[in-house]
Amino acid sequence: MNAITSPRANSRLWLGAYLVAAFGTGALFRTGVIPGWPGVALFAASFLLLIPLVRSVERAQAAAGCASPAMRLYNRRMVIASLTYVVVLLAGAGAAAYLAPPTPVRVVLAIVVALPVLMMIRAMALLLRTETDEYLRMRIVEQTLIATGFLLVAASLYGFLNVFDLAPRLDAYLVVPVWAVGLGVGRLFQRDPSC
């Protein structure tokens, strides 16, 4: 992945590599091909690809003329929060499964695991507050509104599928990744998808 490809194509390649690595290692662990801690460690390590992915995204944003100091800070905050989330989630899930701690400890574990997600939401809030470029800020606001609508539609539809026994119950924390997918959908619907 060098200068042969454009910055945008390069970032898509890194996105593909990250998705293949994350889902691939996750599948290897879940199916028992690489069981136990080696499987968990490999899955966690795949998230390190977020670092080159975000760097490639920043290069693509700079090439498209839509980079900003606030966006760079947001990218860094999101990478730190995501890596913290993976580590804390796996450690928390492992502790809850193998140590069978009492209820108060499990409450603390749940809060600790949720903290990186709150870091991500804070990063988004700070981006909206600190982005001084009004056009970029408008795009972000549009994306968040579309993402929220996407989440509301998906959650309502899925909820009724579940009520009518057509779909299994899902964990509520999945709203955050679904909302993040909505951000991507929002970009597709914008008049100027180059950023």
- How near is the Cβ of 73 to another protein at its closest, in Å? 15
Q: Pick the closer one to another protein by CB: 73 or 154.
A: 73
- How near is the Cβ of 127 to another protein at its closest, in Å? 14
Q: Pick the closer one to another protein by CB: 50 or 136.
A: 136
- How near is the Cβ of 67 to another protein at its closest, in Å? 7
The site for another protein (CB under 8 A) is made up of: 64-68, 132-136, 138, 191-192, 194-195
Q: Pick the closer one to another protein by CB: 136 or 147.
A: 136
Q: Pick the closer one to another protein by CB: 129 or 191.
A: 191
- How near is the Cβ of 55 to another protein at its closest, in Å? 19
CA distances from 70 to 4, 12, 19, 20, 60 (A): 29, 22, 26, 29, 16
